[in-house]
Amino acid sequence: MRTPIVMGNWKLNGSKESVTALIKGIEAAADAAPNVEVAVCPPAIFIDQVATLCANNSIEFGAQDISTEVSGAFTGETSTVMVKEFGAKYSLVGHSERRQYHNETDALVAAKFVAIQANGLVPVLCIGETLEEREADVTKKVVETQIKAVIDLAGIEALENCVIAYEPVWAIGTGKVATSEQAQEVHAHIRSWLAEQSKVVAEKVQILYGGSVKAASAKELFAQPDIDGGLVGGAALIVEEFVGIIEGAK
Ligand code: PEP
The chain-wide mean pLDDT, for the chain, equals 97
CB distance 167 to ligand 1 below 6 Å: yes
Distance CA 18, CA 177 (A): 26
Mean pLDDT computed over 36-52? 98
Select from 187, 180, 245 the least CA-distant residue to 7: 245
CB distance 231 to ligand 1 below 6 Å: yes
Atom from ligand 1 closest to the CA of residue 230: 5
What's the angle, vertex CA 72, arms to CA 68 and CA 78, rounded to 5? Answer: 50
Mean pLDDT computed over 67-73? 98
Report the residue among 90, 169, 231, 237 best suited for mutation to probe ligand 1: largest number of ligand atoms under 8 A from its CB.
231
- For the whole prediction, is pTM greater than 0.95? yes
CB distance 124 to ligand 1 below 6 Å: no
**Pair 22, 50: CB distance under 8 Å:** no
Mean pLDDT computed over 233-242? 98
77 is catalytic: no
Percentage of the chain exceeding pLDDT 70: 100
Distance CA 21, CA 26 (A): 9
Select from 191, 175, 176 the least CA-distant residue to 224: 191
CB distance 213 to ligand 1 below 6 Å: yes
Q: What is the Cα gyration radius of the chain?
A: 17
Q: What is the pLDDT of residues 169-200, one digit of tens each?
A: 999 999 888 999 999 999 999 999 999 999 99
**pLDDT class for 119, splitting at 50, 70, 90?**
very high
Distance CA 20, CA 42 (A): 12
**pLDDT class for 1, splitting at 50, 70, 90?**
confident
What's the angle, vertex CA 50, arms to CA 38 and CA 175, rounded to 5? Answer: 55
**Pair 90, 63: CB distance under 8 Å:** yes
95 is catalytic: yes
Mean pLDDT computed over 28-49? 98
Select from 87, 41, 89 the least CA-distant residue to 65: 41
Specify the fold of 5-248: TIM Barrel (3.20.20)
CB distance 41 to ligand 1 below 6 Å: no
| DSSP summary character for residue 177 | P
What's the angle, vertex CA 88, arms to CA 154 and CA 112, rounded to 5? Answer: 30
Report the residue among 93, 208, 213 best suited for mutation to probe ligand 1: largest number of ligand atoms under 8 A from its CB.
213
pLDDT, position 177:
86
CA 84 / ligand 1 centre spacing (Å): 24
CB distance 176 to ligand 1 below 6 Å: no
CA 167 / ligand 1 centre spacing (Å): 8
What's the distance, CA 172 to chain centroid? 13
What's the angle, vertex CA 14, arms to CA 11 and CA 16, rounded to 5? Answer: 145
CB distance 173 to ligand 1 below 6 Å: yes
- 3 state SS of 124: strand
Q: Is the pLDDT of residue 110 over 90?
A: yes
Mean pLDDT computed over 95-123? 98
Distance CA 50, CA 62 (A): 10
pLDDT, position 61:
98
Catalytic residue among 60, 129, 167, 241: 167
pLDDT, position 118:
97
Phi-psi region of 104 (alpha: psi -120 to 50; beta: other; left: phi over 0): beta
